[in-house]
Each structure stands twice: as structure tokens, then as C-alpha cells.
């Protein structure tokens, strides 16, 4: 947990509000685990010869669940929880649905990557990664199964985790980063652009104030944190390209939020 603010100094109210908005990790974990278990069960029942009739009924969704497919379902479900999180944010609520969609279309992959990175930060092990379902996967086994592109992204992710571990990014700072990513003032054609710009500025100020208050011995901490955002953006862009490529080769499960987001940005 993050260190306490020195006596007499206050954690900015906005930062506390962001932490309040954070989702219950165990609840998200159990929801997603249950969803994936259901998918696997469905698949098993379909592959049993006794269930011929059921096979026919499910004929419209003849997806074979590969490890990659399972990961896509996991990312898809994580996206659902990201949308829920955004909806719980007071500043997000003030926007019309059209603007909300534009913001999410712009940043969904960055939020997914940050979610992954933040989980690895908490996990704190260099030789394994922690999935949103709570499963721990050996890094070596993951890299052995992945192709060149995916391996490169996993390694880039590990480097980013390592950077952030070096100065122990805390949960409050992570919560601020999520908001900086969501309220990106560079998103064009918003109905309420001034609101998004104002929220972005407020989050920046709150994060700066927070780092100076809680980590006064590291005056450059705020800049160091912000420097990681372009790296995160590069990684998320790579992940999108990779997903797009996999989608075109028919390896991404269809009819889900992940695909919808992928399409929205490309059209």
C-alpha cells in the first residue's frame, strides 16, 4: 500500500476520489473466472459426441478455444470491467454517451495494457505473470508458446513493469494514470472538449501535488511517471496491430467488445 502522507499534509481529494472508484479486484477476478469457466464448459459439452443435438444448436459459434482465444476472451472481459470503471467516474458521467464512446475508443488498449502492467507490479515476480483470473503463468512458458511479435511485446511489458517497480509506482498514482489516459485532451471532435481538457489538467495537478506531498525526497517523480505514458502508448499500439493481424487471420473470437473496439478505431 502507498505510504502515508507526512503529518500535516493532505492527499489531494481528487486522488482519494479516484481510489474510491477503483474496482474490487477480487470481484472482477471472480466474475471473469466464472465467465471463462462457463466458456470452457460450453466447449467441452460441445465436443462430447453424446451432445450431437447441442452441437447443432451451437452451430453458429463453432469456435475452438485456443490459448490465444482464451486470452482474447480474458481481454474482452477486462474491457467490460474497464467500461464499468469509467462509468463510475464522476467526470465521465458528466459527458454524453457520444463523447464517452470517443474517449474509450481512443484509449481502450492503453487501459488494457495499464491494467496488465499494474497487476504485474502488484505481483512483483520477474519470472511469472499474473492473469486477471488470478492464475500465475511462468514467463518462460509464455515466451516459449508466443511467436516473435508477441514475445517482443511481453518483454517490452516486463521492461515497463521493471521501470515502474524501480520507483514503486503506488496504487493512487496508478489510479491517476488511468484518468490521464481516459481523459486524453488530444481526442478530436468531442462535443465537450473543454470538460475533457479541464479534467486532464485537474488530474495532472492532483498527481503532481500527490507526488510532492508523499514523496518529497523525489521532486522529479511526477515527470518520471509521465515519461512512462509514451512507452505504454507504443506497447498498446503494437498490441492493437497484433490483434488486428490475428483478427484478419480468423484467430480472434468474434462478436465481442474487443473486436468492436478494434473496428471502431480502424474505421
Partner 1 sequence: KKKDNALLRYLLDKDDNV
Closer CB to partner 1, 84 or 241, in the complex: 84
Cβ of residue 73: shortest distance to partner 1, in angstroms? 15
Q: How many CA atoms lie within 13 A of 221 on its CB side?
A: 21
Cβ of residue 260: shortest distance to partner 1, in angstroms? 5
Interface residue list for partner 1 (CB under 8 A): 80, 83-84, 87, 97, 100-101, 104-105, 256-257, 260-261, 263-264, 267
43's grid cell? 466447449
241's grid cell? 496491430
Rounded to 5°, the CA angle 189-195-196 comes to 65
Taking phi over 0 as left and psi of -120 to 50 as alpha, with beta for the rest, 89 belongs to beta
CB 181 within 8 Å of CB 229 = yes
- Residue 254's SS3 state is coil
Cβ of residue 70: shortest distance to partner 1, in angstroms? 20
Closer CB to partner 1, 4 or 60, in the complex: 60
Cβ of residue 97: shortest distance to partner 1, in angstroms? 5
Closer CB to partner 1, 99 or 170, in the complex: 99
Closer CB to partner 1, 65 or 103, in the complex: 103
Cβ of residue 96: shortest distance to partner 1, in angstroms? 10
Cβ of residue 87: shortest distance to partner 1, in angstroms? 7
Sequence-ordered list of residues with C-beta below 8 angstroms from that of 136, at least 6 positions apart, any chain: 123, 125, 128, 129, 130
Cβ of residue 226: shortest distance to partner 1, in angstroms? 28
Closer CB to partner 1, 43 or 256, in the complex: 256
Residues 176, 49: Cα–Cα separation, whole Å: 52
Closer CB to partner 1, 83 or 208, in the complex: 83
Closer CB to partner 1, 118 or 261, in the complex: 261
CB 54 within 8 Å of CB 45 = yes
CB 19 within 8 Å of CB 214 = no
- Compute how many other C-beta atoms are within 10 angstroms of the C-beta atom of residue 34: 12
- Compute how many other C-beta atoms are within 10 angstroms of the C-beta atom of residue 265: 12
Distance in angstroms between the alpha carbons of the first and the last residue of the chain? 42
Amino acid at each position: 500500500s502507498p505510504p502515508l502522507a507526512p503529518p500535516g499534509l493532505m492527499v489531494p481529494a481528487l486522488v482519494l476520489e479516484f481510489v474510491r472508484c477503483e474496482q474490487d479486484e477480487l470481484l472482477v477476478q471472480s466474475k471473469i473466472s466464472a465467465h471463462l469457466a462457463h466458456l470452457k464448459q460450453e466447449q467441452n459439452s460441445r465436443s462430447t459426441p453424446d451432445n450431437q443435438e447441442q452441437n447443432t444448436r451451437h452451430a453458429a459459434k463453432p469456435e475452438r478455444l485456443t490459448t490465444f482465444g482464451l486470452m482474447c476472451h480474458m481481454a474482452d472481459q477486462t474491457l467490460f470491467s474497464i467500461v464499468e470503471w469509467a462509468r463510475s467516474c464522476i467526470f465521465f458521467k458528466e459527458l454524453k454517451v457520444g463523447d464517452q464512446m470517443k474517449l474509450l475508443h481512443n484509449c481502450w488498449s492503453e487501459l488494457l495494457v495499464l491494467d496488465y502492467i499494474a497487476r504485474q507490479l502488484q505481483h512483483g515476480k520477474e519470472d511469472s505473470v499474473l492473469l486477471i483470473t488470478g492464475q500465475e503463468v511462468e514467463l518462460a512458458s509464455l515466451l516459449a508458446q508466443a511467436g516473435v511479435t508477441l514475445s517482443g511485446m511481453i518483454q517490452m511489458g516486463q521492461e515497463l513493469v521493471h521501470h515502474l517497480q524501480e520507483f514503486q509506482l503506488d496504487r493512487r498514482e496508478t489510479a491517476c494514470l488511468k484518468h490521464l489516459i481516459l481523459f486524453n485532451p488530444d481526442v478530436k471532435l468531442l462535443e465537450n472538449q473543454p470538460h475533457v481538457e479541464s479534467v486532464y489538467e485537474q488530474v495532472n495537478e492532483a498527481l503532481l501535488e500527490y507526488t510532492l506531498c508523499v514523496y518529497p525526497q523525489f521532486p522529479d517523480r511526477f515527470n518520471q511517471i509521465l515519461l512512462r505514458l509514451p512507452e505504454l502508448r507504443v506497447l498498446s499500439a503494437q498490441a492493437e496491430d497484433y490483434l488486428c493481424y490475428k483478427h484478419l487471420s480468423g484467430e480472434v473470437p468474434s462478436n465481442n467488445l474487443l473486436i468492436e473496439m478494434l473496428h471502431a478505431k480502424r474505421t
